[in-house]
Amino acid sequence: MPTRRSWLLLGVVALACATSAWAQPRPLTIHDLIAFDRVSDATVSPDGGLVAFTVSSLDAEGLRRTTDIWVVASDGTGLRRLTEDPAGDFSPTWGPQGRELFFLSTRGGSAQVWRVARDGGAATQVTTLPLDVGAYRLSPDGTALAVALEVFPECDTLACTTGRLEQEKTKKSTGQLYDRLFVRHWDTWKDGRRSHVFVVPVGGGTPVDVMKGMEADCPSKPFGGADEFTFAPDGRAVVFTARVAGREEPWSTNFDLYVAPADGSAEPRNLTDANDAWDTSPVFSPDGKTLAYRAMARPGFEADRYRIVLRAWPDGEPRLLTEAWDRSPNEVVWAQDGRTIYATAGNIGQQSLFAVDAQSGTAREVVREGHVVGPSVGGTTLVAAIDHLRSPAALFVIDPGGAAPRAITRLNAERLAGVAMGEAEQFSFPGWNDETVYAWVVKPVGFETTKKYPIAFLIHGGPQGSFSNNFHYRWNPQIYAAAGYAAVMVDFHGSTGYGQAFTDSIRNDWGGKPLEDLRKGLDAALARYPWLDGDRACALGASYGGYMINWIAGNWPDGFKCLVNHDGNLDERFAYYATEELWFPEWEHGGTPWDNPEGYAKHNPIDHVAKWRTPMLVIHGGRDYRVVYSEGLATFTALQRRGIPSRFLFFPDENHWVLRPANSILWHETVLEWLARWLGDAR
């Protein structure tokens, strides 16, 4: 007889067939959510006529996602899959003439660079390196590649690294000896290797480590990518981002831009040594005369505002372009004429696309609504992916003049037609100190004005983050709307997209302003929407949101019928000693626990456990080294010892996020069962 898990996976496999059988759209399910095709990595051909992109699809067994390269004309015609292989194909890059596409593939068991003709056909392998390629860049003339490889920095050759790895496999002992911190990072125990950028001819040859001997990573760990390095316009040098901080690396955010000759004939030269904060994302203007990059101003603060900086290449002085613009750009790309820089940035509950004048720094909105990511320019064509609360990402051609974007992909159209989504609305209210705070509400599917609906009160992480107009694959309010709940999400003080002062205001005040905003936000929602049932509400949060759930348990104990805590700290003091990126708690709490113990005690949930009484579901990942699983286990211990109804869902193979499809199904089913237990029938 099929197991429960088998039925879950069979439901995923049957989704596409079942969709067309429904006469009317039905509520969204977790099976729908994980089965959507995910579009990313859009890149426009040099002539602007063709767009290549990556599509991530759920495999037939519903166990893993596979990726392929697709192309579509910029007028939306000719959509086709360009590569198809059981291994993953991803990260497409156009050759300089637009006749072929380079991409990464795991065919043969190793991630290497491949290429395929613009019109399709058999792909051919470009690199045959003994190590996986983590990211790559193509030189402007297409004759060389810059590739990121994991090597021991003291090794002179790749053979040295591979030899040491083979030796490790033959060791009888399993002990690892460390002399300094970053023994583990995000979800990985470190073994001494670093990600270095190598230059290798496209036609083959000996790779040259342009970061030779550097105790640094490019791309940065754990989320850096190919946007952190690039060739100089003449192809004879590489500009890259790296943090060289020695033993201070775990509490330093001093990333600098370096330039190194592509042939390795000289050591890298620091271009941004004068700035002790974060410098990243080097990108050259189309004429090669100007380097643009993003820079923070305050050392030790990972959520400081990025500014766009310009530097005449190669020896000009840096010019701060966007000091007067109170937004923090996430991505930057030049327009073909070199007069405009397109940038995405959080913007009052959206992630908008802006056009920044390269002379004055004046920014104007090009696309306001939704969540815009990955802008790419080819010729006069501007393309980006846009998603929003009612739809996953699709590719759009963007009119720089501000006309409505035009969709050129609709890969999820059939699935979307088969499911109903809740209506989303943004509202604002006077929060802490009567300052304006924004929030979102998503109505339940099948909403009726005469009914009262229970509330799923979602609290974002970060804390410098936002529950914006974004179709999320882990915390999607539509899942709760589909189950009959109204989702309410408050962008409390500390959230991004509302100006840097608003973001900064959470420092040294984790449990103060944000808690007041959350309380006032729920009251404002209840007053504004009489169909909300304030007596049936559950609060849910992850990371900082999970911390806030523990804080609410002791400081707003009568606010909710139930709580859900995913990867949240219980003891801020001890969490400092167990986490890996120490700059984060040191900035947030005003120093180390021994130099400023009051900063860690001020809003520490563990000191309020005696007041806990609300039922709580606790969830944690065993490979979460940002918030170690002992925090979740300690929370569960406190709940159980106090006799408070509680459950503990543990994923030994997940990190700070739950990524595996089957685990995501279990996560959502467990959470929805918990809400139903304490809030009653939502329908």
Pairing of strands 80-81, 65-73: antiparallel
Neighbours of 67 (CB within 10 A): 23
Separation in Å, CA 340 to CA 66, 210, 287, 335, 465:
36, 31, 13, 5, 27
Say how far apart CA 175 and CA 516 lie, in whole Å.
Answer: 48
Instruction: Read off the tokens for 397.
Output: 């051609």
Residue (of 373, 365, 471) closest to 424 by Cα position? 471
**Are 390 and 380 in contact, with CB atoms under 8 Å apart?**
no
Q: What angle do CA 413, 415, 418 make, to 5 degrees?
A: 110
Q: Which residues are catalytic?
A: 543, 624, 656
Instruction: Read off the tokens for 227.
Output: 């946007």
Say how far apart CA 397 and CA 420 lie, in whole Å.
Answer: 26
Residues 6+ apart with CB under 8 A from 441: 424, 425, 427, 486, 487, 488, 489, 525, 529
Say how far apart CA 597 and CA 586 lie, in whole Å.
Answer: 11
Separation in Å, CA 213 to CA 165, 194, 196, 216, 224:
18, 10, 9, 9, 20
DSSP state of 641: H
Phi and psi, residue 493, nearest 5°: -55, 130
Residue (of 568, 576, 516, 520) closest to 541 by Cα position? 568
Instruction: Read off the tokens for 155.
Output: 């090794």
DSSP state of 419: E
Say how far apart CA 418 and CA 438 lie, in whole Å.
Answer: 31
For residue 54, the cross-strand partners are: 40, 69
Residues 6+ apart with CB under 8 A from 406: 76, 396, 397, 399
Q: Among the residues of 360-469, which ranges form H helices?
A: 413-417
* Maximum distance among all Cα pairs of the chain, rounded to whole angstroms: 75
